[in-house]
């Protein structure tokens, strides 16, 4: 007769084997998800996993008497239930667009490229000195809605006399989705050109921020850029091409990443389906147009809390305990798959340096002290674009330079306004191209 200790040891051994079987089936499921690229919402991988698990369980149960024949099937049932959660949508599969903003009308423009984009117009207020040249704002993302915080900055510009237009990139915010294969940095540039042509007010001033600055930089490398762009402001740019994207450089002064309180709110990544899909996409194991989740479903599921430390990285370490709320839950949108697709096309693109060196559009580069961007992404633009007339290094701010804290919006406005009006810069012209080696060496 087996002692209690022996019985306990046997039970633990069987439990360990059962858990190992569940883990093995789950691992097989993930491998099949990758191999099938999530075909049919993961159902193909799930069916193969279940069939394989049942086949092994039947083989193990052949010499067992009833009802012990069913025991090997228990890990299969558990694994089937767990993996099935990856195949069942939790968010709507049809795109749900944000409601209208209460302070600005949303227009829908159909561009010559085929994109249908959401457009916001802030006309100059009567009390301001009206500036004749329209100002177009290109937001960051790449495929994200314009945040309420950014809208506030655009309102400030309009209050100072600027005729401000902004549009959300195709697939972002209230703009309509594109087929996944149509997203790309070249399409983003063509959309900018088509937007300016649709505006039909001649060359415009353009302020591009973050990934919007990448679109603007690549537009400046186009031979006919001067026909559309009057003056260009490149604020905190990401990598402009494949060679730049491959640079493993340094960042600015310490940001609030890892110091700020964790963002509150629901996370799509707490749901197995989206944790698996978005995680494997980020690792490059699933394509952006994976069959596991559709573009619309991913957009609907993704929340601001999913950005994690990315938001904190846009602020200085000294601001870690007072990071402002950038957006409302209703207005926030982000398309993870389309963004990855555009980032991939940037990494795969050849150098645009030869074309950018022929640019003749007057430009300004804005760099934040606590930037989370790789410094060489910014200094490469400075080195390659001879038409950059001034660089403004803004102290005391992170990547999101206009952020509603202290006088940061007014300081950013002063820099923008001085350049667009061709007036004396409020900050030193630093770094100039000759300053780049020392700027990098001193970890500015």
Euclidean distance between CA atoms 243 and 246, whole angstroms:
5
Evaluate if residue 63 carries a pLDDT over 90: no
Predicted TM-score (pTM) of the model is 0.93
Predicted confidence band of residue 121 (pLDDT cuts 50, 70, 90): very high
Tokens, residue 272: 């197995």
pLDDT in the model for residue 319: 96
- State pLDDT tens for residues 234-253: 999 999 999 999 998 888 99
Evaluate if residue 312 carries a pLDDT over 70: yes
> Tokens 């389309």 correspond to what residue?
338
Q: Which of 316, 322, 412 is nearest to 370 (CA)?
A: 316
pLDDT in the model for residue 65: 62
Euclidean distance between CA atoms 30 and 360, whole angstroms:
51
pLDDT in the model for residue 10: 61
| Percentage, residues of the chain above pLDDT 90 | 83
State in words which class domain 107-441 has. alpha beta
Evaluate if residue 61 carries a pLDDT over 70: no
Map out the domains of the chain as residue ranges: 4-84, 107-441
């Amino acid at each position: 007769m087996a002692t209690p200790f022996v019985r306990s040891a046997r039970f633990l051994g069987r439990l360990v084997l059962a858990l190992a079987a569940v883990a093995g089936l789950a691992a097989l499921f993930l491998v099949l998800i990758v191999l099938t690229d999530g075909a049919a919402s993961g159902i193909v991988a799930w069916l193969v996993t279940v069939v394989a698990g049942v086949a092994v369980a039947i083989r193990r149960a052949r010499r067992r008497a009833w009802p012990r024949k069913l025991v090997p099937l228990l890990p299969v049932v558990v694994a089937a239930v767990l993996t099935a959660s990856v195949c069942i949508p939790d968010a709507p599969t049809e795109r749900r667009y944000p409601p209208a903003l209460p302070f600005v009308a949303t227009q829908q423009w159909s561009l010559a490229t085929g994109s249908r984009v959401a457009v916001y117009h802030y006309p100059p207020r009567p009390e301001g000195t009206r500036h004749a040249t329209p100002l177009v704002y290109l937001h960051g993302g790449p495929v994200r809605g314009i945040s309420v915080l950014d809208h506030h900055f655009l309102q400030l510009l309009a209050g100072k006399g600027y005729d401000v237009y902004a549009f959300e990139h195709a697939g972002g915010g209230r703009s309509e989705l594109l087929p996944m294969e149509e997203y790309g940095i070249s399409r983003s540039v063509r959309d900018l050109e088509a937007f300016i042509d649709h505006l039909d007010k001649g060359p415009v001033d353009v302020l591009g921020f973050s990934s919007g600055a990448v679109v603007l930089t690549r537009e400046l490398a186009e031979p006919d850029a001067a026909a559309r762009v009057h003056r260009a402001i490149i604020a905190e740019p990401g990598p402009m091409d494949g060679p730049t994207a491959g640079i493993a450089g340094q960042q600015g002064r310490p940001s609030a990443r890892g110091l700020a309180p964790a963002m509150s709110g629901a996370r799509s990544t707490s749901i197995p389906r989206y944790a698996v899909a978005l995680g494997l996409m980020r690792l490059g194991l699933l394509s952006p147009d994976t069959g596991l989740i559709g573009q619309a479903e991913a957009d609907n599921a993704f929340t601001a809390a999913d950005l994690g430390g990315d938001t904190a990285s846009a602020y200085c370490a000294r601001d870690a305990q007072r990071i402002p709320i950038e957006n409302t839950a209703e207005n926030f949108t982000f398309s993870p798959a389309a963004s990855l697709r555009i980032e991939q096309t940037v990494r795969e693109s050849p150098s645009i340096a030869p074309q950018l060196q022929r640019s003749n559009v007057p430009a300004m580069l804005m760099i934040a002290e606590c930037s989370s961007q790789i410094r060489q992404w910014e200094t490469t633009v400075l080195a390659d674009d001879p038409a950059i007339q001034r660089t403004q290094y803004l102290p005391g701010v992170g990547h999101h330079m206009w952020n509603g804290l202290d006088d940061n919006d007014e300081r950013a406005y002063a820099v923008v306004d001085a350049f667009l009006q061709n007036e004396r810069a409020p900050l030193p012209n630093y770094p100039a191209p000759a300053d780049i080696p020392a700027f990098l060496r001193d970890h500015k």
